[in-house]
Structure 1
Amino acid sequence: MIVGVLNQKGGVGKTTIAVNLAAGLVARGARVLLVDADPQGSALAWSSARERDPLFPVVGMAKPTLHRDLPSLAAAYDAVVIDGAPRANELARAAILASETVLIPVQPSPYDIWAARETVELIREAQIYKETLTGAFVINRKIANTAIGRDVAGALEPFEMPVLDAALCQRVVYAESAAQGLSVAEAAPASEAAREIAALVEEIASRHARRDAA
């Protein structure tokens, strides 16, 4: 399973989702590789801040040949998570082509919803060459019990791409755990954030299993 996490708009929580998704897959017993394909190197910075033993290796591969270079490296792992680059450029295209599924984090904001169009277009373009490629939206930093929090899924319907049921809410623990190089499950295992991540991992794993069985 190779999951790319991409959005052409910065600050949507790509690295937060990528890191915690990788940690959640490890908790399920998978051998996981996290690929930092963003020139900003946020996932590598997260790994450097960590004082505990690593949960999984993190490698930097911010290069336009990622889709050609990754398969040989990925063969040693059960799952690969790619923290992709922002902006519609060669790096983003390479990360999408390297993926089996692309997750698009979207905050409940009109700006995020408008910006999602570029990522969706890149996925549609890549599907011409890779018919098995799939994509899905992940709602991030949702503010519970607000109209915009409830309406974001409806606002994404015109893109004709699934919106995952599992959503991540606006919670301080996501930033606090990241500053320590930890996943939320390590920093606060009984928290709502940890339960949100577990639900996200379960949904992605289930989707992948159904895809393999098809």
Structure 2
Amino acid sequence: MHVVAIVSQKGGAGKTTLSVHLAVAAAAKGLSVALIDLDPQATAAQWGDWRGGDNPAVVATPYTRLDATLQEAKQAGVDLCILDSPPAADAAAVSAARAADLVLVPTRVSAFDLHAIKTTGELMRIAQKPAFTIFNAVPPRAAALVEDAAAVVRGIGMPLAPVCLTERAAYRHAVVDGHTAGEYEPGCKAACEIDAVLDWMMGRLTKPSSIAQAA
């Protein structure tokens, strides 16, 4: 079973949106997926209630029960667990990172958001797990802005995921009734971006060197 944590100190970075979209995309590829909501606001769990169904299974749990919840998922034959952590560099985020094989750190490409990931980067170094920044809600036709933001991320020593997620209306429209962009508009650009992130992520998880680093 693979475990991926979505971690960000700053609220509004798009953690839950990324979490639910990756969970649904992975389930669509035939994986058994559990989305574990560690955020006391339980936004992912609310989305799961709207959605219904059992793949992805959506479970809200306090971080103090994370190990037990992951063990239950493993015993149930889950292939992939995605951990949606609270928007803070606290014990819950540390627990999520330490339990994960891979950590994704979504951020917008604004100065305030980029400043906030410095703290998240320090947290990832404490957790000693492979972590990648992923740019989220990028304005269309913002190549120069992305390049400037990439320089900031490289400057603090955090690797950058090779796929950016663009600001698209499909994300907002889809989640209000428990769906995702790809279900709301099959084959749309948002769905293609999520699939690209998922393919890259699963490639990282299945690399022997990546697994060894995460052990």
- TM-score if structure 1 supplies the norm length? 0.91
Match in the other structure for 1:55: 55
Alpha-carbon shift at residue 60 of structure 1 (Å): 0.6
Contact 2:38 2:92 in 1 (8 A): yes
Match in the other structure for 2:40: 39
- CA separation in 1, counterparts of 2:10 and 2:186? 30
Q: Deviations over 1:62-98 (max 9, x none)?
A: 23342x3233123121100000111121111111111
Q: Structure 2 unaligned runs (5+)? A: none
- Bigger drift between 13-22 and 90-99 goes to 90-99
Of the candidates 180, 184, 198, which is equivalent to residue 195 of structure 2? 198
Q: Deviations over 1:30-87 (max 9, x none)?
A: 110000010110101111222x644311001123342x32331231211000001111
Match in the other structure for 2:115: 114
Contact 2:44 2:58 in 1 (8 A): yes
Alpha-carbon shift at residue 158 of structure 1 (Å): 1.3
Contact 1:143 1:149 in 2 (8 A): no
Letter in 1 for 2:149: V
Q: What are the within-5 Å matches in structure 2 for residues 79-94 of structure 1?
A: 79-94=80-95
Q: CA 1:64/1:119 → structure 2, altered by over 3 Å: closer, same or farther?
A: farther
Alpha-carbon shift at residue 173 of structure 1 (Å): 0.7
SS in 1 for 2:64: coil
Are residues 1:143 and 2:142 paired? no
SS in 1 for 2:63: coil
Letter in 2 for 1:71: L
Alpha-carbon shift at residue 104 of structure 1 (Å): 0.2
Sequence identity (%): 31
Contact 2:109 2:138 in 1 (8 A): yes
Q: CA 1:64/1:120 → structure 2, altered by over 3 Å: closer, same or farther?
A: farther
Match in the other structure for 2:154: 157
Letter in 2 for 1:117: K
User: How large is the RMSD of aligned CA atoms in angstroms?
Assistant: 1.6
- CA separation in 2, counterparts of 1:30 and 1:19? 14
Contact 1:70 1:98 in 2 (8 A): no
Number of residues of Structure 1 aligned to a counterpart in Structure 2: 207
SS in 1 for 2:133: strand
Contact 1:88 1:122 in 2 (8 A): yes
Match in the other structure for 1:69: 68
- CA separation in 2, counterparts of 1:62 and 1:185? 30
- TM-score if structure 2 supplies the norm length? 0.91
SS in 2 for 1:80: strand
Letter in 1 for 2:3: I
SS in 2 for 1:156: helix
Contact 1:3 1:100 in 2 (8 A): yes
- Bigger drift between 55-64 and 173-182 goes to 55-64
- CA separation in 2, counterparts of 1:213 and 1:44? 32
Match in the other structure for 1:101: 102
